[in-house]
Amino acid sequence: MKSTNQRGASPAPTSVAFKLSPVAAGCAMLLSAISGSAYAQDATAGQAADAPVIQTVKVSGIRRGIEDAISVKKNSESIVEAISAEDIGKLPDVSIAESLSRLPGVAAQRVAGRAQVLSIRGLAPDFSTTTLNGREQASTGDNRSVEYDQYPSELINGAVVYKTPDASLVGQGLSGTVDLQTVRPLEFPGRTMAINVRGEKNSIGKQNAGYKDKGYRLSGIYIDQFNNRTLGVAVGYARLDSPGQYQKWSSWGYGIDPKTGSTTGLANSGNEIDAGSTKQTRDGLMAVVQWKPNRDFQSMLDTYYSKFDSDTTIRGMQFGTGNWIGGLTYANPIFASYGGTQVLQSATVGGIKPVLRNDLNTNRDKLFAIGWNNKLRMNEDWTGIADFSYSKADRQDMILETYAGAANTDTAKIVRDNNTGLPQVTTGLNYADPSIVKLSDSGGWGQDGYVKYPQVTDKLKSARFSAKRSLDGMFSNLDVGINFTKRDKTRQSAEMLVNLKNGRTPIGVPSNLIQDPTSLGFAGIPGIMSYDIMGALNSLYTQTPKIHQDIYNKDWLVSEKVSTAYAKVGIDDTWGVPVKGNFGVQMIHTNQSSNAFNVDTNGLNKPKSVDEGTSYNDFLPSLNLNFDLGSEQHVRFGLGKTMARPRLDQLRASSSASVDTTKLMWTGDGGNPKLKPWRANAIDLTYEKYFDKSTYFSAATFYKKLSTYIYDQIVPFDYTSYPNDGVTPKSNIGTLKQPANGTGGSIKGVELSGSIDGKVLWTGLDGFGATGSISRTKSEIAPDGPGTTGALPGLSRTVSNVQFFYEKSGYSARVTRSERSNFRGEVTGFGADRTFTDIKGAAQVDFQVGYEFKEGQYKGLSLLFQVINANDAAYQTTLSNGTLKVPGEYTKYGRTMLLGLNYKM
């Protein structure tokens, strides 16, 4: 099979004329003004499982991946976006989330320096769904949104992001639907094998003993056909052994402290300084069997398995400097203006008592999915489809804290950068000295350590039956079907007090457990004592179960049964101009329930098991039209009603309550298993102009009107079934704080995207090219309820991407820049619960160069060098102090460098 790219192979003439068409100039101006995506917008619509599979089987490379995506875009009925593998087992980025985040209107949230979850058109990940080969997937997270690091990019052959609803797309989200696609072996012309190997290194270097700053990625895929091309087989395996390092500072908050000598200036209330090291190993396995014995019947069985293990050691120092801490003194305080407010920049602080942390977090994730699709052409008109699938996800975590400290207080000089918050700390004591630092409850928290064991199990089963037939006239085809889905998600959490065995008396760390000190030099601290955390836990501590109402609140089971019936007709007619598209409707019945605990917050009664739930119906019409204006111009129009079911943790039946001893009134908080979905009406309009296979321009606008939004509300609640805790209330009707359906709002935006082949501008630029996109989104939704001003989770007002590349004669190079503005993101907070934080906008630059041998004995071999986060962008959050945004966290993850080779035969 020929795999060389012949585009642009002819030499440039010795004399060239510089000719620039007005529209090409417009594309160039767009790309120079924005940052953009390397892929395509507005691809095919319809059933995700039957969407055109993006294949690169004859030519390979950056340009080919772009051309494939543009081709899908151009021939679509609906408004979607697509990415394509440059070659078998070779997506453009090291992760599928990175590739998707370069699409117009799509933004990634980074977790531990890696793109993990996606926001589509300004809405949080909860508003979108992800499918694999058209089937909804279980997830290892607490909610519905998929964590994309479970899916190796080497095993994904392409992806489509549906931005408008389509009646045949089951399980679609409110903001969009992402369909990940694996290969279909019978669509390849012959046997294909590919091997990819890459070495990896982190620029920060090893932060903790027992870890490394080097890793590797290994993948292979085999595709073949048998029995006169009636049977196709594809098997792929991907191994990841990736190090992660980080240097982190975070604040406890800000306030006025008269001890600083100022009654108006703000002072930081506390510091946490950490050095973290992570080892991530992932094994992914994909297998596909496709059987097509004749032209009327085909069957495909596809499976996917992923095992992801992560161990993270975090060692650091934390100490309070707030006005509530007694005995603190401030010498030589210096304030500096920050945002028009005086903020303490440096001082010598006496009386601090740092807590040294040696923590260990482990994650054990497993994901399995299997699907069986059967398609029978019953006659010239009708085709029947039966599809069955099962998906399961398991997560087992350990979150361990151990504490140590000196017996005496200390004095430290603290000089901070008010722009980042990162301080330079000079302490009086040597915290790397085991004779000074002892294992103890140095923070006075009533424990010597703490450990949590959260677990999640998610199971999803579905069966789908549909039939299609061709029609004559204005309506080109009819597609009807029904889908049944059952989902059960369980979350449990055991939590333990960790205390020293010797009656909690502070002790030194045995010499056999001592490890090399951990440097916090990035914050001015040369080193802190480090030890074997698991060795200490097993030999020096006891674990005692902690019983608390908040822990019971974290245990829940949510079950859903969803039945979806749909009908869709294709449109192919002339309304002044040729028009294609589809019109359809989904009718959805949802039955949801939850089993959890009701808890007495005073602890006088045992938790009571409770089962609650509800059912509801939704009617979701949709319309997609594609008008062909001629001269390679298209206008697309989308109209529909969409929904997103509530977060699973919001559906939990658990609650905690007690009688207020002063007001003699029941109060409580908890989940709401009777929640109804987010619902919205959406309208989309796009204009597209194509110049050739790799050059286009697109402008899009969208508007979504949410008829309801879910936010925490205080509502009347009947506590008759709750056990009385000894205080007699005035009434069994009290108040309960829980998520509830309330007022909606609107979100709207515009998106510009384009791609240009350099030779369109000038033949001397043959081999050069660029892609780009920019989106602006505005929300009028109050996510915390009417009258509040909190930001909409996941919304960045501006998201932009740009890519410049060169590819010719085997040589290739690419530079990409992705940027999103400030947004409110969801992170893991105290108690392993999900919480929101304000994440500062940032830009990341990635770089890649490569060479492919086109002929000779090394034909099929390509070499690659990549730098991820080449500009060493930091992760930053902010805290609100009135109208002032002050630094909350500053974390550096460093650059990731990869060197490797790909070989295809």
What CA–CA distance (Å, rounded) separates 76 from 162?
Answer: 11
Q: What is the pLDDT of residues 838-883, one digit of tens each?
A: 999 999 999 999 999 999 999 999 999 999 999 999 999 999 887 8
Q: Specify whether the CB–CB gap between 327 and 335 falls below 8 A.
A: no
18 part of a folded domain? no
Burial class (CB in 10 A: 0-12, 13-18, 19+), 717: buried
Higher-confidence residue of 260 and 15: namely 260
Whether residue 38 is predicted with pLDDT greater than 70 in this model: the reply is no
Domain assignment of residue 703, given as a range: 62-904
What CA–CA distance (Å, rounded) separates 390 from 144?
Answer: 16
Band the pLDDT of 59: cuts 50, 70, 90. very low
Q: What is the pLDDT of residues 596-606, one digit of tens each?
A: 887 665 555 66
Can you tell me the mean pLDDT for 115-123?
Answer: 89
What counts of helices (H) and strands (E) characterise the chain? 6, 47
The SS3 of residue 535 is helix
Other Cβ atoms less than 10 A from the Cβ of 299: the count is 15
833 part of a folded domain? yes
Q: Specify whether the CB–CB gap between 49 and 387 falls below 8 A.
A: yes
From residue 789, give the alpha-carbon distance in Å to each of 8, 65, 364, 784, 785: 54, 42, 38, 8, 9
Q: What is the pLDDT of residues 151-161, one digit of tens each?
A: 888 898 889 99
400 part of a folded domain? yes
Q: What is the pLDDT of residues 437-446, one digit of tens each?
A: 999 999 999 9
Whether residue 210 is predicted with pLDDT greater than 70 in this model: the reply is yes
Number of structural domains (the chain) is 1
Whether residue 57 is predicted with pLDDT greater than 60 in this model: the reply is no
Whether residue 16 is predicted with pLDDT greater than 70 in this model: the reply is no
Closest to 736 measured CA to CA, from 601, 605, 830, 833: 601
Band the pLDDT of 8: cuts 50, 70, 90. very low
Report DSSP state, residue 95: S
Residue 71 φ/ψ region, left for φ over 0, alpha for ψ in the -120 to 50 degree band, beta for the rest: alpha
Whether residue 195 is predicted with pLDDT greater than 90 in this model: the reply is yes
How confident is the model at residue 73, as a pLDDT? 83
52 part of a folded domain? no
Band the pLDDT of 827: cuts 50, 70, 90. confident
Q: What CATH number has the domain bearing residue 424?
A: 2.40.170.20
Q: Specify whether the CB–CB gap between 83 and 68 falls below 8 A.
A: no
The model's pTM is 0.89
Q: What is the pLDDT of residues 636-661, one digit of tens each?
A: 999 999 999 999 999 998 888 888 88
Can you tell me the mean pLDDT for 314-324?
Answer: 95
CA count, 13 A, side-chain hemisphere, 478: 9
How confident is the model at residue 864, as a pLDDT? 94
From residue 124, give the alpha-carbon distance in Å to each of 111, 120, 159, 750: 15, 7, 19, 18
Q: What is the pLDDT of residues 707-720, one digit of tens each?
A: 989 988 988 888 88
How confident is the model at residue 744, as a pLDDT? 85
How confident is the model at residue 551, as a pLDDT? 81
The SS3 of residue 707 is strand
Over pLDDT 90: what percentage of the chain? 70
Whether residue 289 is predicted with pLDDT greater than 90 in this model: the reply is yes
What CA–CA distance (Å, rounded) separates 440 from 452?
Answer: 19
Can you tell me the mean pLDDT for 425-442?
Answer: 97
Closest to 456 measured CA to CA, from 429, 500, 491, 413: 491
Region of poorest pLDDT, from 384-398, 550-564, 675-689 = 550-564
What CA–CA distance (Å, rounded) separates 199 from 218?
Answer: 9
83-85-91-96 Cα dihedral, nearest 10 degrees: 40
How confident is the model at residue 60, as a pLDDT? 57
Q: Specify whether the CB–CB gap between 904 and 1 falls below 8 A.
A: no
The SS3 of residue 631 is coil
From residue 679, give the alpha-carbon distance in Å to each of 3, 46, 770, 794: 47, 21, 38, 17
Region of poorest pLDDT, from 318-322, 378-382, 829-833, 861-865 = 829-833
What CA–CA distance (Å, rounded) separates 502 from 212?
Answer: 35
What CA–CA distance (Å, rounded) separates 6 from 103?
Answer: 27
The one-letter amino acid code at 845 reads V
763 part of a folded domain? yes
Q: Residue 474 phi/psi, 5° resolution?
A: -60, -40
Element housing 99 (H / E): helix 96-101
Q: Specify whether the CB–CB gap between 695 and 757 falls below 8 A.
A: yes
What CA–CA distance (Å, rounded) separates 898 from 864?
Answer: 8
How confident is the model at residue 214, as a pLDDT? 95
Give, rounded to a whole angstrom, the gap between the first and last alpha carbons of the chain. Answer: 8
Whether residue 32 is predicted with pLDDT greater than 50 in this model: the reply is no
Q: Specify whether the CB–CB gap between 779 and 705 falls below 8 A.
A: no
120 part of a folded domain? yes
99 part of a folded domain? yes
Average pLDDT value for the chain: 89
Band the pLDDT of 663: cuts 50, 70, 90. confident
What CA–CA distance (Å, rounded) separates 216 from 826?
Answer: 30
How confident is the model at residue 821, as a pLDDT? 96
Region of poorest pLDDT, from 13-17, 294-298, 388-392 = 13-17
Position of tokens 């699709």?
373
Whether residue 220 is predicted with pLDDT greater than 90 in this model: the reply is yes
CA count, 13 A, side-chain hemisphere, 541: 27
Higher-confidence residue of 631 and 599: namely 631
How confident is the model at residue 832, as a pLDDT? 59
Whether residue 612 is predicted with pLDDT greater than 70 in this model: the reply is yes
Q: What is the pLDDT of residues 737-773, one digit of tens each?
A: 999 998 889 999 999 999 999 998 999 999 999 999 9
How confident is the model at residue 357, as a pLDDT? 98
Token readout for 12 is 């440039």
Q: Specify whether the CB–CB gap between 48 and 169 falls below 8 A.
A: yes
How confident is the model at residue 25, as a pLDDT? 46
Can you tell me the mean pLDDT for 775-781?
Answer: 94
362 part of a folded domain? yes
